[in-house]
């Protein structure tokens, strides 16, 4: 199949960037989207041109590194699918595609389609952990967890930190990511010791970064490749209000 690609090229953070048009005359429909970009880069290298930089790692829909905007949609047109799991058979011969990096002030472009998502790391560092002495592995039934609580915690923990929620949100908000990281620990018994301090610190760090404010567009939920619900944002907001009264450091 033949495709035309309009790819964002940017030499570095200080470069203004530009769209570059590439013709792809021989794309195999069974290729993944990243394999198609590999094919593009092989052709560019053969011609002595600079290949397109893009993030990738596992290519199995697990790590979240592969995110790009495809025709204005994070990870492309399929719901619940990362870019690396999107295949070219979902496009038609002769299609023209526009490929861009995540668009967010909090995710500065490093080069081409690669962005710096270190802001997410700083949110995690602010409290996304449980600092308890675990000792040896406990018996599986030693700490009873209701099934609905375990299911909700697992749903929140499926967040892969790809940034699609931020990229798709008109405000560039990070509430879905932050709430998932807050909730998957805050729901479990092991996370109760630091529950209130955690939500205060992680929300404060999120607000210190260049993210926008959540105004309930719900674009984040629609774009999330793991289908994480905006219900977790409501949970985080409730915990944040309660933390004012429950966290002994709240008045510091």
Buried b (16+ CB within 10 A) or exposed e, 68-79: bbbeebbbbeee
The bridge status of strand 3-9 relative to strand 69-70 is unpaired
Domains, the chain: 3-110 (3.10.20.30), 118-246 (1.10.1060.10)
pTM of the model: 0.93
63's CB contacts (< 8 A; 6+ apart) are 57, 160
Q: What is the pLDDT of residues 27-79, one digit of tens each?
A: 999 999 999 999 999 999 999 999 999 999 999 999 999 999 999 999 999 99
Cα–Cα distance for residue pair 119/206, rounded to 1 Å: 8
Q: What is the pLDDT of residues 193-246, one digit of tens each?
A: 899 999 999 999 999 999 999 999 999 999 999 999 999 999 999 999 999 888
Alpha carbon of residue 34 to chain centroid:
17
């Amino acid at each position: 199949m033949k495709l035309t690609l309009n790819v964002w090229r940017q030499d570095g953070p200080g470069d203004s960037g530009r769209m570059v048009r590439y013709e792809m005359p021989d794309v195999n429909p069974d290729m993944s989207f990243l394999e198609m970009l590999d094919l593009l880069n092989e052709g560019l290298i053969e011609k002595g041109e600079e290949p397109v930089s893009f993030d990738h790692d596992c290519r199995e829909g697990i790590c979240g590194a592969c995110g790009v905007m495809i025709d204005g949609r994070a990870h492309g047109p399929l719901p619940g699918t990362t870019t690396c799991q999107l295949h070219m058979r979902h496009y038609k011969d002769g299609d023209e595609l526009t490929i861009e990096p995540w668009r967010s002030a909090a995710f500065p472009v490093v080069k081409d389609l690669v962005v710096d998502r270190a802001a997410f790391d700083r949110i995690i560092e602010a409290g996304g952990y449980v600092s308890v002495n675990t000792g040896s592995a406990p018996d599986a039934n030693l700490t009873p967890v209701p099934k609905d609580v375990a299911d909700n915690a697992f749903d929140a923990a499926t967040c892969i930190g790809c940034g699609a929620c931020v990229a798709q949100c008109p405000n560039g908000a990070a509430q879905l990511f932050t709430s998932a990281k807050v909730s998957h620990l805050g729901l479990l018994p092991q996370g109760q010791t630091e529950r209130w301090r955690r939500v205060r610190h992680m929300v404060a760090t999120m607000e210190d970064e260049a993210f926008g404010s959540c105004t309930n567009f719900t674009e984040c939920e629609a774009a999330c490749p793991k289908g994480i619900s905006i219900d977790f944002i409501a949970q985080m907001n409730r915990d944040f209000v309660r933390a004012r009264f429950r966290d002994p450091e709240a008045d510091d």
